[in-house]
Amino acid sequence: MMEERRYERKKNVEDMIFGVRAVIEAIKAEREINKIMIQKGMNKDLFSELKEILAGKNFQLQFVPVEKLDSLTDGNHQGVIALVSPIEYKSIEPLVEEMLERGEKPLVLVLDRITDVRNFGAIARTAECQGVDAILIPSKGSALVTADAIKTSAGALNRIPVCKTDSLKESLFYLQQCGMRIIACSEKANIPLYEVNMRGPVAIILGSEEDGITSDLLNLSDIKARIPMIGEIASLNVSVSAGMILYEKTRQELRG
């Protein structure tokens, strides 16, 4: 039957749900959806119901040629494919509140528009090794958790909570109100990383591969730090930077 639920699992991509009715049911069931791809110019009667259910929701939509959809599945996609997250995203607020109530000192890694899934996976692997309690990402404009990201993370993304937020600025302000210091890591900062007190509850911000940390988040941060470098190339890969920054945090905590 054309409108029946259809699922297909492919190697090295998220779970896919295809077909208008199947995607509608996935949305109603509150499945964790990374992205919905819709055929450009599609204007079928059945699609009107999908448009209604998408109204007011914050899904990442991408309008693509039919050839793109055909390349992803041989099934009857009806012009719609949803890529479903392999993990359940969390909310940062209750997670941090619970940690503070237990007397713990949260360490949150904030990724401001990191778009490469392999960078994301590599950062998560390091984060798990260095005791990060949660990774915070924006709902849009960021790499999301995919099978490729999980593979690159060596499974760390199955172990460390990943939290999505519609506003990094508002979430960081909330963390400040909870007593966490916000440390922004930027090559434009004046203070060397090793001079920054990183002990205790902190949120560490890493910026995008293209243009670093947005000005709003830099202005909100309590301190801005840079990794000292003496070579000719003025910047590091963001996943390498994450390793150096998180190691410095661990080093300071172990020294007491």
What are the b/e assignments for 64-98, b being 16+ CB within 10 Å?
Answer: eeeeebeebeebebbbbbbbbbbbebeebeebbee
Instruction: Look at residue 1 and tell me if it is in a domain.
Output: no
Rg (CA), the chain: 20
**SS3 for 137?**
strand
Q: Rounded to two decimals, what is the model's pTM?
A: 0.85
How far, in Å, are 119, 183, 237, 243 from residue 210 at the CA level? Answer: 13, 20, 11, 19
- What pLDDT, on a 0 to 100 scale, did the predictor assign at position 44? 64
Quick check: is 2 in a domain? no
Q: Mean pLDDT for each 10-residue chunk of the chain (256 residues)? A: 38 70 90 91 75 84 91 90 92 96 97 94 96 95 90 94 96 97 92 95 94 94 93 85 96 90
The domain of 237 spans 92-255
- Residue 46 has a pLDDT of 65
Q: CATH number of the domain at 59, please.
A: 3.30.1330.30
Q: Are strands 202-206 and 191-192 parallel, antiparallel or unpaired?
A: unpaired
Half-sphere exposure for 30 (CA within 13 Å, toward CB): 2
CATH of the domain at 119: 3.40.1280.10
**Domain end point (choices 54, 84, 114):** 84
Question: Is residue 99 domain-shared with residue 150, that is, in the same domain?
Answer: yes
Domain limit, last residue, from 84, 114, 131:
84
Domain assignment of residue 35, yes or no: yes
* Chain center to CA of 204: 14
Of 60, 84, 108, the one marking the end of a domain is 84
Please report the pLDDT score of residue 8 as a whole number.
Answer: 39
Q: What is the pLDDT at residue 12?
A: 38
User: How far, rounded to the nearest angstrom, does the alpha carbon of residue 203 sit from its chain's CA centroid?
Assistant: 15
Same domain? 130 vs 212: yes
How high is the pLDDT of residue 6?
A: 40
